[in-house]
A and B are shown apart, each in its own frame.
Chain A
Amino acid sequence: MKFIEITKKTNIDFIGLRNKAFVLSLALVLLGLFSFIMIVVGKANESVDFTGGTQLQVKFEDQVAIGDLRKVLTDGGIGDVQIQQVSGTKEFFIKTKLSDTEKEKIQDKLSALLSKEFQGKKFQILGSNMVGSTVGKTLKRNAAIAVIVSMLCIIVYIAWRFTFIFGVAATIATFHDVLALLGVFYILNMEMNILFITALLTIAGYSLTDTVVVFDRIRENMPKMKSKTDFGDTINRSINEVLSRTLITSLTTLLAIGAILFLGGQVLFDFSFALFIGVLIGTYSSIFVASPIIYVWKKKLR
């Protein structure tokens, strides 16, 4: 019987590569922690969902496409806009992170920009108002509680199905991925909005699934171990055995996300980018982080 195969039978020494992987992961996690602190002190690129900003109401006399309007505003330096059209009219609500400063008023800036870019189209700014953030303090706190509690429950479940060490390792790998993604977004100065939070959660779920699959194979192979010393070999064998599955799943997921990344347009770009990077990191961590942690830990115990 012949199969189309993405990888032939492999025999890679993943455990042998652990120190290199740990250096990379440590760097990613530290970067993530740094970004997290920056978010807490408000130095990160948080979107209008978190910071609040200015809401402007503009009325055009001629029809203007919402896509053109978005492009003009973004190119003109009024970044991070949410545009909503009032149904059945030529009126728009524009929400931006910017707020009035002593030097310039947002309303004037918008006005100048629109008259330059939409020459011949008459418009009127009906109002400008400061708005608060959509993501309140309670929402942030609840999200944090949810993450911590669910991680504790995951540890308990995996500890019950596997062992305690596996549970902790899975949780560390998941946090590793979330932090790494946070770090990448911070370094690239990409905007963190509600969709980004969802992306983080999605990646946490994806990464966890990936990790559990590898763990499951290790559990299956452990009784076949001849002596306690070849635990590293067992891990290596297990990862190699599920490697084709890991790669195929990542590939199909990346295909789906890639389509949205390249064709989904500007608004969905950051979101799909986060998912794309997240899948890569999640795949990496289930191979190079989760299982090697167990190996190192078990070795310490002996």
Chain B
Amino acid sequence: MLKSIKLRAFFIVLFLVISVIYCLPNIIEPTGAWKKYLPSDKIHLGLDLKGGMHLLLELDTTKMLENMVNRKFDALKDSMIRDGIRFLGLDKKENSLFIIIRAEQKDKLYNLIGKEFSDMKAGTTKVDGENLTIEFLLSEKELSNIKENAVHQALETIRNRIDQFGVSEPVIVRQGENQILVQLPGIKDPQRALELIGRTAQLEFKLVDEENAVRYTGGIPPEGDEVLTMKTKNKETGISTTTQILLKKQSLLTGELLTDARVKIGGEFGGESYVAIEFNSEGARLFDKVTAENVGKRIAIILDNTVYSAPVVKERISGGKASISGSFTMDEAKDLAIVLRAGALPAPVKVVQNITIGPSLGQDSIRKGVQAAILGAILVVAFMFFYYRYSGIVANIALFLNLLYLLGAFTALKATMTLPGIAGIILTMGMGVDSNVLIFERIREELRLGKTVRAAVEGGYEKAWVTIFDSHITTLITTFILFIFGTGPIKGFAVTLSIGVIVNLFTAVLGSKTIFDWILGKYKPRSLSI
């Protein structure tokens, strides 16, 4: 333990100054030259205390069903060709497929459907001479299943993205049939949050069709091809331009096979930030195959139907690692990595409602709660003074230091304050009072044994310290685990409590002890007001 009072006092004051500096923006807005040197972050308040951004998103399930039917259409076509079922026509509607076949092929077709497309159900059959037009519907149960799964998947994906974006204490809830309600507290850049949440994040790799590109000058693209927009940014001027690019329609690889995506800077892209991605084993195998087959050709990297880059494959790439560059800003690259990691939304979403709402506790409750908490604090402070006399004042100073340190650390760490967090503060304050009570009761015991004031104080601190240490460490263990496994409010509680416990340990050793040592050294009292 530190012996010099001056050194201890220095640390106490140093931390005090740092805490006050961090707390300052909560009280006054720094102006002028100060703005540059002082921190500007206020304590972030959670949804329950401050309200925030309220977004209602709607999942476009029609679009999703359309994709679903398209996929079935392609799959059925392939299967029929494979099994040698000759068909005269194939068509699709909202949620059904129409197949025109010769009557004698009917059994074979039904057999195939039953075996490989069990989620389809035969509907009406129209007879036209030798030909049959059979409608196959996606079953009702399957339809609702698909919709249901899509909403759940979207919820998970959005939750992942917001977690990684770093918003603490969001509310993400399903509403109605295909809507998702998202509430975000204290967002500084709502537009960025909106883009992050709303992006479908469908990642695809497609081959650039260079052969046809020479002849293609616009209009309808050749069979099996599509035209997409490519964004490029001039490195010197920073101006973005868009160009059209002709691609093979078929995806070589999609984002489902990704396992990781991270922002990196430098490497072959100079000082640019780029996103390094990693595939799972299946993705790695496919990527290896695709790059081996297409050396010298360009592969376009596409996110939500926009081409980000279309680099030439220089050599076969094994090991399942690739990168996406596109002259991003750091934030853009970060967000891109987040959406890639969190996975794609099963269907596009549109924002139905985007408003700012008040706190979920209600302004009235918060006001009452704050008043009550202040009164509670006054009662505790008064009791400590009444019961321990002048030593009580020392304890109260320590308590005040505790609170300031806690708030300073809280602001510096950019944690979000919520009601559970305040419960954490109450518990810490309780433990802070408890530490002093433990010490004082020990000092009293020592005094009763007839020790001198100095010996009693030393002995009291020494003996109480063991207890304080054990009780704080056990609490710290709990909070640490709550932090790892907890989400939302539980995590907020854990953060406050763990900061509080550490601060408490510091003030318990240095805070009141230093004041006692100083008084004892200066006035050498024969008795102690405790």
Check: A146 CB closer than 8 A to any chain B CB: yes
> Which residues in chain B, 393-449, are within 8 Å of chain A measured between CB atoms?
419-420, 423-424, 426-427, 429-431, 433-434, 437-438, 441, 444-445, 447-448
- With both beta carbons as reference points, the residue of chain A lying nearest to B174 in the complex is identified as A132
With A86-B356, A142-B485, A213-B467 already in contact, 5 other A-B pairs whose C-beta atoms are closer than 8 Å: A70-B364, A129-B175, A202-B493, A213-B471, A265-B368
Q: What's the least CB distance linking B404 to chain A, in Å?
A: 18
5 A-B pairs whose Cβ atoms sit less than 8 Å apart in the complex: A4-B386, A209-B474, A215-B470, A256-B379, A258-B379
Chain B interface helix/strand/loop/mixed: helix
A209 touches B444 (CB 8 A): no
A264 touches B368 (CB 8 A): yes
What does the 1/0 interface line of B446-481 toward A look like (CB < 8 Å)? 011000000000000001001100111111011111
A265 touches B438 (CB 8 A): no
A125 to B383, CA, bound (A): 51
B474 touches A154 (CB 8 A): yes
Number of residues on chain B facing chain A (CB within 8 A): 82
Question: Which one, B173, B358, B383, B466, contacts A134 given CB within 8 A?
Answer: B173
A-to-B contact residues, CB < 8 Å:
1, 3-4, 6, 52, 55, 65-67, 70, 82-88, 93, 129-134, 138-139, 142-143, 145-146, 149-150, 153-154, 157-158, 161, 170, 194-195, 197-199, 201-202, 204-206, 208-209, 212-213, 215-217, 220, 241-242, 244-245, 248-249, 251-253, 255-260, 262-268, 271, 275
Question: Which one, B361, B441, B482, contacts A150 given CB within 8 A?
Answer: B482
B51 touches A256 (CB 8 A): no
Most buried by A among B362, B426, B479: B362
Contacts of B431 in A (CB 8 A): 209
> Which residues in chain B, 154-188, are within 8 Å of chain A measured between CB atoms?
171-176, 179, 181
B363 touches A199 (CB 8 A): no
Q: What's the least CB distance linking A170 to chain B, in Å?
A: 8
Q: What's the least CB distance linking A257 to chain B, in Å?
A: 7
Check: B245 CB closer than 8 A to any chain A CB: no
Question: Which one, B368, B371, B441, B472, contacts A244 given CB within 8 A?
Answer: B441
Q: What's the least CB distance linking B202 to chain A, in Å?
A: 25
Q: What's the least CB distance linking B244 to chain A, in Å?
A: 42
B358 touches A260 (CB 8 A): no
B51 touches A146 (CB 8 A): no
Check: B372 CB closer than 8 A to any chain A CB: yes
B383 touches A202 (CB 8 A): no
Contacts of B388 in A (CB 8 A): 4
Contacts of B39 in A (CB 8 A): none
Question: Which one, A66, A249, A256, contacts B363 given CB within 8 A?
Answer: A66
Q: Which 5 A-B pairs have the closest CB atoms?
A: A259-B376, A132-B174, A146-B485, A256-B376, A265-B368
Indicate whether A66 sits within 8 Å of B477 (C-beta atoms), given known contacts A133-B173, A146-B482.
no
B355 touches A216 (CB 8 A): no
Contacts of A265 in B (CB 8 A): 364-365, 368-369, 372
Question: Which one, A154, A212, A253, A262, contacts B430 given CB within 8 A?
Answer: A253
B175 touches A132 (CB 8 A): yes
Contacts of A266 in B (CB 8 A): 365
Q: What's the least CB distance linking A179 to chain B, in Å?
A: 17
Chain A interface helix/strand/loop/mixed: helix
A242 to B176, CA, bound (A): 57
B429 touches A93 (CB 8 A): no
Check: B14 CB closer than 8 A to any chain A CB: no
A258 to B356, CA, bound (A): 34
Q: What's the least CB distance linking B150 to chain A, in Å?
A: 14
B486 touches A143 (CB 8 A): yes
Contacts of B445 in A (CB 8 A): 241
Question: Which one, A197, A245, A262, A268, contacts B490 given CB within 8 A?
Answer: A197
Contacts of B173 in A (CB 8 A): 52, 131-134
A150 touches B477 (CB 8 A): yes
Check: B497 CB closer than 8 A to any chain A CB: yes
- With both beta carbons as reference points, the residue of chain B lying nearest to A156 in the complex is identified as B477
Indicate whether A252 sits within 8 Å of B51 (C-beta atoms), given known contacts A66-B362, A150-B482, A208-B474.
no
A142 to B470, CA, bound (A): 26
Q: What's the least CB distance linking B360 to chain A, in Å?
A: 5
A134 to B181, CA, bound (A): 10
Question: Which one, A4, A194, A258, contacts B489 given CB within 8 A?
Answer: A194
Check: B103 CB closer than 8 A to any chain A CB: no
B176 touches A129 (CB 8 A): yes
B429 touches A256 (CB 8 A): yes
A198 to B368, CA, bound (A): 20
A262 to B172, CA, bound (A): 33
A83 to B360, CA, bound (A): 6
A212 touches B474 (CB 8 A): yes
Q: What's the least CB distance linking B357 to chain A, in Å?
A: 5
A143 to B361, CA, bound (A): 23
- With both beta carbons as reference points, the residue of chain B lying nearest to A161 in the complex is identified as B470
Question: Which one, B179, B384, B490, B530, contacts A252 given CB within 8 A?
Answer: B384
B383 touches A251 (CB 8 A): yes
Check: B521 CB closer than 8 A to any chain A CB: no
Check: B198 CB closer than 8 A to any chain A CB: no
Contacts of B420 in A (CB 8 A): 194-195, 198
Q: What's the least CB distance linking A229 to chain B, in Å?
A: 26
B386 touches A245 (CB 8 A): no
Contacts of B280 in A (CB 8 A): none
Contacts of A258 in B (CB 8 A): 376, 379
What does the 1/0 interface line of B476-509 toward A look like (CB < 8 Å)? 0111111011111110010001000000000000
Question: Which one, B51, B363, B375, B493, contacts A198 given CB within 8 A?
Answer: B493
Question: Which one, A131, A142, A220, A248, contacts B437 given CB within 8 A?
Answer: A248
Check: B359 CB closer than 8 A to any chain A CB: yes
Indicate whether A146 sits within 8 Å of B484 (C-beta atoms), given known contacts A85-B358, A205-B478.
yes
A267 to B232, CA, bound (A): 54
A169 to B175, CA, bound (A): 45
Check: B510 CB closer than 8 A to any chain A CB: no
B174 touches A131 (CB 8 A): yes
Indicate whether A130 sits within 8 Å of B427 (C-beta atoms), given known contacts A1-B528, A267-B362.
no
A82 to B54, CA, bound (A): 15
A153 touches B477 (CB 8 A): yes
- With both beta carbons as reference points, the residue of chain A lying nearest to B528 in the complex is identified as A1
A258 to B361, CA, bound (A): 20
A216 touches B470 (CB 8 A): yes
A201 touches B470 (CB 8 A): no
- With both beta carbons as reference points, the residue of chain B lying nearest to A3 in the complex is identified as B444
A107 to B173, CA, bound (A): 20
- With both beta carbons as reference points, the residue of chain A lying nearest to B421 in the complex is identified as A198
Q: What's the least CB distance linking B503 to chain A, in Å?
A: 15
B427 touches A142 (CB 8 A): no
Question: Which one, A133, A149, A202, contacts B423 given CB within 8 A?
Answer: A202
Question: Which one, A3, A149, A241, A244, contacts B485 given CB within 8 A?
Answer: A149
A11 to B330, CA, bound (A): 68
